[in-house]
Amino acid sequence: MKVTTEKLPNSLLALDIELEREQVEKGLDRAARRLSQKYNIPGFRKGKAPRFIVENYFGRSALLEEASDDLVNKAFRAALDEQQIEPVGQANLENVSFDSEPFTFRVLVPVEPSVALPDYRAIRVPLDLAEVDDEMVQEAMDVRRDRHVVLRDLEDPRPVQDGDELTVELDAVVDGEPLDQREPGTPPAPSTLVMNAKRLAPGLFDGLLGATIGQVVAVISQMPEDHVNERVAGKEVQFVIKVNSIRERLLPDWDEVPTLEEFEGTLEELRAKTREELLETARTNAERSVVDKYIEQLVAQTEYDLPEVLIEREADRLLEEREYQQFGRYGVTAEQVYKIQNRERDDIVQSLLPQGEERLKINLALRELVRAEDLQISDAEVEAEVDRLLETYEDEQRERARELLSNQLRSSIANTVLDKKLRDRLMAIAAGTAPEPGSDPAPEPVGDTTASASATQELPRDATANEPAAETVTVEGETASNQ
């Protein structure tokens, strides 16, 4: 057997395979036996007719057709072994020529993607720490105090005042379309608004101030560009609000707040603790921004040659995650929803290909960086993470939790440890303070912490690949809220 390879774009490898005549003859012999076992041939018992009789009875073309699958698959598997090729997806067979010599066929095999990192250690991203001023500390203290508010029904009807809590029916329209999708004629679900100008969309506080129970208020609000809900960010939203109830909010005295917060200290000490927490949050957010910007530059500068099958697989995973978040946890199947919506799942997967490609690029670039930096984790590091997690459990739950964390969830915990080590290394690289690759001691590494891909070695079957997954989080805030 002769095998010639040709590298094609999109991480495809073309295998041109030429069979020896002896291989083909043995394949025809096996095909003749199968045909004689499946069909009655006059004058012979099943499985006993010689090959030349079978060939004369069915014709050479039928015998070649019967033999082709067996010949192709055996030769394909042998070629993969000979060339040490590991497919990452289903191969495609083309250009089969068995009706004349030489007997040849071509197979297109998706293989591991090609990823060429840039000079990633030259990428710099500054750490931009946000300031924490007295106003921010006071707002955080207000939130602490607000957690212990007591609501009281009004003894006598009165208009809406600053600080009240309202139960309302709220309609919101943007670009002529309602934000709340519901059946026509159905009133909006009741919602709660707190009369605090900083907690409401622009114009709502002034529009509702002085309103009475049963009154309908209409407000046009210009939403900020950085609103968490992308549908309304930077746009005008028309609010129509019916006030259903008004309750008075009674806040505790400031001196009571430390006790209510179960804090052992004075109000000023609680304020100092709050400032420290805000500073820690600011640092965490700044570090997350550094990592995100570094990865963005890393991906932009990395050269890729990606097989389409892996992009489609990543898009499918994205959709699976959405389906679980939106339907699975509520006992509704995605198929039921798509049938009602008259949508095809394959069409949705196709629409997610750009996002799947972007996430795949991130995964692959980070995988290569982990290898280049020789980042490894040890059993001791995993055990330390298990111990840390156990501290979050009650005493009576820890024995069962340790068994679960140390066995079924150990792989997930190892990934968490590696992810933290990777993020720390990215921060150091972005700041220009990273140690040399492989300089960190890592005794007793825990298995292979990088991505791998494997595939079956038969043409009709698909392959599987295991890349490290990147979490995506979609955050949508209340439309009427400006926080």
Query: What are 236-294's pLDDT values in tens digits?
Result: 999 999 999 999 999 999 999 999 999 999 999 999 999 999 999 999 999 999 999 99
Cβ-count burial 344-373 (b if 16+ within 10 Å, e if not): eeeebbeebbeebbebbbbbbbbbbbbeeb
* Alpha-carbon gap, residue 275 to 282, rounded angstroms: 10
pTM of the model: 0.73
The secondary structure of residue 184, as a DSSP letter, is T
Nearest by Cα to 305 from 7, 14, 84, 80: 7
Question: Cα–Cα distance between 11 and 310 in angstroms, integer?
Answer: 10
Q: Tell which residue, 4, 5, 13, has the closest CA to residue 305.
A: 13
Residues 356, 359: Cα–Cα separation, whole Å: 5
The CATH code of domain 149-250 reads 3.10.50.40
Q: If we measure between CA atoms, which residue out of 118, 73, 30 comes closest to residue 461?
A: 73
Q: What own/partner pairs with CB < 8 Å and gap ≥ 24 does 411-417 have?
A: 413/382, 413/385, 413/386, 413/389, 414/377, 414/382, 414/446, 414/447, 414/449, 415/449, 415/468, 416/385, 417/377, 417/381, 417/382, 417/385
Residue in this structure with the two tokens 């004629």, named with its chain if needed = 185
Query: Could you give the C-alpha distances from 96 to 37, 229, 325, in angstroms and in order?
Result: 26, 55, 46
Helices (H), 178-261: 204-208, 257-260
What residue type is assigned to position 327 of the chain?
F
Q: Residues with Cβ < 8 Å from 250, sequence gap 6 or more?
A: 149, 150, 151, 152
Instruction: Kindly list the distances between the CA atom of residue 471 and the CA atoms of 229, 318, 322, in Å, as whole numbers in the listed order.
Output: 19, 10, 12
pLDDT reported for residue 454: 30
Domain chopping of the chain, boundaries: 2-111, 122-148+264-301, 149-250, 305-466
Joined tokens for residue 147: 């957690």
- What's the burial of 133, exposed, middle or buried (CB within 10 Å: 0-12/13-18/19+)? exposed
Q: What span, in angstroms and rounded, lies between the C-alpha atoms of 390 and 399?
A: 9
Residue segments in the chain with a per-residue pLDDT below the cut of 70: 98-100, 328-329, 440-483
Q: Which residues pair with 247 in a beta bridge?
A: 153, 165
Exposed / middle / buried, residue 271 (Cβ in 10 Å: 0-12, 13-18, 19+): buried
Strand partners of residue 106: 16, 94
Side-chain half-sphere CA neighbours of 436 within 13 A: 1
pLDDT score at 306: 95
**DSSP string across 377-439:** -BHHHHHHHHHHHHTTS-GGGHHHHHHHHHTTTHHHHHHHHHHHHHHHHHHHHHHT-PPPTT-
List, in order, residues 6 or more apart from 373 with CB less than 8 Å away.
425, 434, 437, 438
Contact (Cβ atoms closer than 8 angstroms) between residue 276 and residue 174: no
Q: Which residue has the tokens 């004369």?
A: 56
Q: Position of tokens 């501290």?
A: 391
pLDDT of residue 99: 65
Pairwise CA distance, residues 158 & 136, whole Å = 33
User: Given this model, what pLDDT does residue 98 score?
Assistant: 67
Q: Which CATH superfamily is domain 2-111 in?
A: Trigger factor ribosome-binding domain (3.30.70.1050)
Beta-carbon contacts of residue 84 (< 8 Å; ≥ 6 apart) = none
Reading phi first (left if > 0) and then psi (alpha if -120 to 50, else beta), residue 285 is in alpha
Query: Which residues have C-beta within 8 Å of that of residue 205, sequence separation ≥ 6?
Result: 195, 196, 197
- pLDDT of amino acid 244: 95
Residue at token pair 């076992």: 37
Query: Of 200, 169, 192, whose CA–CA distance to 247 is shortest?
Result: 192
